Structure 1
């Protein structure tokens, strides 16, 4: 049982580090890797899972995913936009047919998945808050 826990812990840290690298490299998807890290930590270390849930940048991603309330529309639309922008850059840089077909296939699948996710209603921001 201890070996399984260590494996999940190592996979969690590998996923988290890869996700952080993915912030700067267009081919590595940050969000799925952070979510995988959260899943691994939930099975191996309550301390690291709690740390990730309370993290300034990664915490909201994990909490939104783990809640059954859905994701904010703005976040979903941003994810779709940046995913396609990153894929377009990758396609132009690599310029191979097999890579283009693979990236477009993955992009369409992820896009469909994101569009089918439930949306959480966001509280409306009050314009000119504090002004009279």
Structure 2
């Protein structure tokens, strides 16, 4: 990979920091996932901030998940169940709102597609 210029490196770092911040928020809010944001942060950091990428890969709690995703696209079964449950709950809440019918149909269909894809991934 060609080394990034200073502007590109700055943009990759900003993206990595935003993703880390969202992952940190997600560690405390059950409706916001943590690991997908950390996966994105490690990806962005790999393009502009190798030290942050290394820190994420070696993180005692989340590093293993990031490494397994990179090596095999693996998602732990517990994470699959949690994501599926949150999508089902989100769909149920959405159906109880005054959202337009297209949203009440489209969002659950999209979430179902994501769940199918997620369950097709290998497990760690």
Settle same-fold status: TM greater than 0.5: yes
- Work out whether 1:116 is the aligned partner of 2:116: no
Check the 8 A contact 1:53/1:62 in 2, yes or no.
Answer: yes
- Work out whether 1:71 is the aligned partner of 2:74: yes
Alignment of 1:38-117 (within 5 A): 38-68=42-72, 70-71=73-74, 75=76, 77-94=77-94, 95=97, 96=99, 97-117=101-121
Check the 8 A contact 1:91/1:99 in 2, yes or no.
Answer: no
Say if 1:84 and 1:103 are closer, same or farther in 2 by CA, change over 3 A.
Answer: farther
CA drift at 1:35: 0.8
Consecutive unaligned residues of structure 2, counting only runs of 5 or more, are: none
Task: Determine the structure 2 residue equivalent to 1:31.
Answer: 35
Q: d(CA) in 2 for partners of 1:29 and 1:99?
A: 22
Consecutive unaligned residues of structure 1, counting only runs of 5 or more, are: 121-132
Structure with the larger helix share: 2
Q: d(CA) in 1 for partners of 2:107 and 2:81?
A: 15
Instruction: Name the count of aligned residue pairs.
Output: 115
Name the TM-score, length of structure 2 as normaliser.
0.76
Q: d(CA) in 2 for partners of 1:16 and 1:102?
A: 29
In our comparison, the structure showing a higher alpha carbon Rg is 1
Alignment root-mean-square deviation, CA = 2.2
Match of 2:22 among 18, 23, 27: 18
